[in-house]
Chain A
């Protein structure tokens, strides 16, 4: 089942990676939204997790060169990005108590495969494969569409978390300035299925009886119906196991239908066959139709890790970091191509090392930065293009922002 191979990097390899490959300048441009350093960069918190697991918070830097210098000195296993504070985080000890407050922060979302454990059959825990990536892909479609159309934001960066999940960073001006309450509201708007810490107790009930589905969920359902068929019924086939079947029965609110399903289920009944029984039985009555739609949501709707999004001062791993367990780089993902994304094809840091070594022994032009010669190049180009869009926007509305 395990498709994403482990390819852990040594500290020496990590150091070379930071020194020669990591795109510090692109990350700076992305956070700073301009070429000259502003508070968006200088007052920004960075946190480092060192190789020995020591965690260092409240670092801040004047330039991306400073950041690079510090990273190469610490050689951390990964680092995280926090909010823009009212003062330089590294000066916090000399500040008046209460003077350091978070002012801005990209709106972030985190979707993690572990929240799908009770409904996926191909892998469990930290593992992920091309098949269960389908859950993530479905989530990306729903969230990307809602954020762009409903909330009107344009600058979305989706980033593979290096192992079993995906992050979303939104850099629109309004999104940066959201208060914690507003972040909580947007999470509430998007949350339908609660992340399952205690799955047994939780059911998905989206329809309040006799009320219509809110417009946003109607739109999502159109897409998720197909996901449900392809991913759940055809691929994952969760109802064919006893455990998966009991999980389904918990969502069947009609006791007659539940009894019929138990009755008609034989050894070897597939999810598809069972779903046909449900389809037939729920035709015609609105309440049962609503229940059926709730089941589709339960198995396919994005499961968000709400806590990550709610607070401005939450830290999230920087794009292009290396996942310490898999050795894979946290690369950006184009949401349009998310269905074709295969976690197993993401470059590992060891692989990148080989590439720059080969390139250096060949006679190719050495004036280009090292990353140009690696499999990371298309991903860094993707970030740079994304940043260009943000900067063009910032220029258009100049005069009002960056001046607080």
Chain B
């Protein structure tokens, strides 16, 4: 497929086995064999990425397994179903695309393995027993069922290692009912290291009840090995210049928590916001990146080009129409003459609304773009501030909305582990506790922050509801 030379790395043990697309659960131990267009390549990868990013933020937020499973299952229905053979092809391709994007650093590999592992477990739990058995029986996994006579031959040894269940007769019954499987010991090194299984002739005897945890471990181990192999052969892949930008974009998306183009859904609210309302919203509803730009504008009575562009597009998408925008910027730049403003700035404002030049309707920057290093010094404060500065800024900006110094360690810890969007989401939750937002709710529907406009729009929505409630 996209890297034929790499196929050797994913060589399978049994080529005579059925196609991976014919079964729901896939160990992804063979690369997809069909051709994929670049567009398909990116779209299906983005869908998978959305799910993995949400799994990752669930982990960072310490959600329970049940919550995470419910949510992941729901999202899989929308973005990554497994019902038809076509679905399963997409699933297969997207997994391999993301391997390419995420094999390129130790940190990305680790995070990818973790998220993929959870996706696999979720599906393993959700599919029918028959689907599970189809995976286990497939010869590639080499689980050999231990026949009853063989089990009886080793009865004493096996029973002495059987999990301690009380009382003893229950343990005995459970043992007698349990089916044993044997696998090469090299497949279960953890159990070997801790002497938890019976071992004979290099075969580890594993009771059926421990099988699933071994399967999960093996899924992650195989993926880890495969990613390292891919990483080693990637320099050759980099020769394909069409792929590199796509892969870069995908791995950045993971760092930023992906990926929604927020602009489209909120632009319909034209005219709802006036120049005078910006101050109010900035104080109550803006994420820290935009809040910082606003403060800077107020303090300096000016913003440099890229800051202006970023903040201007944000306000545009928030619902500040062109006329109000011109008013807002004119008032903000109150130390220059009308003439200078009209000559130097008005054009750019109209341009950003698509009324001049190429007449392109520019979208506001997403978290992903703000997080990636670019020409702008106005990045994501969670990423770019030192921990000390971040804490000072958080208290200065949000203490009036309920954030206290007791909340800081949690936010700083998230930042330190690289979960900037989760840190931002957590601040949103804390500062909207008065609107009934609890930890884990996100900006609504368990979503985490992916776009400053999503943050602001949800906040405005929530606070409106608040005012209504107070009014009734």
Contact = CB atoms under 8 A, between A and B. Distances in A.
Interface stretch (A147-155, A321-329, A369-377): A147-155
B160 A182 contact: no
Contacts of B235: 96
Interface stretch (B36-44, B132-140, B194-202, B331-339): B194-202
Contacts of A181: 189
Contacts of B375: none
Q: How large is the interface on A (under 10, 10 to 19, 20 to 34, 35 or more residues)?
A: 20 to 34
B347 interface: no
A189 B201 contact: no
Interface stretch (A207-215, A227-235, A272-280): A207-215
A152 B202 contact: yes
B280 to A, nearest CB: 55
Interface of A: 96, 98-99, 101, 149-153, 174, 178, 181-182, 184-189, 211-216
Nearest to B189: A185
B202 A215 contact: no
B79 interface: no
A391 B185 CA distance: 24
Contacts of A213: 160
A182 B186 contact: yes
Contacts of A96: 235
Contact of B202 (A99, A174, A211): A174
A152 B192 CA distance: 14
A188 B192 contact: yes
A184 B203 CA distance: 17
B186 A189 contact: no
Contacts of B85: none
B202 A216 contact: no
Contacts of A189: 192-193, 195, 199
A174 B201 CA distance: 12
B160 A214 contact: yes
Interface residues of B, number: 22
B42 to A, nearest CB: 28
B408 to A, nearest CB: 39
Q: Identify the interface centre among A98, A99, A101, A189: most chain B CB within 10 Å of its CB.
A: A189
Interface in B203-247: 203, 232, 235
A213 B198 CA distance: 12
Contact of B199 (A150, A178, A182, A212): A150
B204 to A, nearest CB: 10
A184 B195 CA distance: 12
Given A150-B200, A152-B202, A184 B189 contact: yes
A214 B195 contact: yes
In order of increasing CB-CB distance, the 8 nearest A-B pairs are A152-B202, A188-B193, A185-B189, A152-B201, A185-B193, A215-B157, A185-B192, A212-B160
A153 B185 CA distance: 12
A206 to B, nearest CB: 10
Given A150-B201, A151-B202, A188-B192, 20 more contacts: A98-B232, A99-B232, A101-B232, A149-B201, A150-B200, A151-B185, A151-B199, A153-B202, A174-B184, A178-B186, A181-B189, A182-B186, A185-B185, A186-B192, A187-B193, A189-B192, A189-B193, A214-B161, A215-B157, A215-B198
9 contacts: A150-B199, A151-B199, A152-B202, A174-B186, A181-B189, A188-B195, A189-B192, A215-B156, A216-B199
Contacts of A99: 232
Contacts of B202: 150-153, 174
Nearest to B159: A212
B157 to A, nearest CB: 4
A98 B228 CA distance: 11
A188 B192 CA distance: 7
Contacts of B157: 215
B409 interface: no
B279 interface: no
B161 A184 contact: no
B190 interface: yes
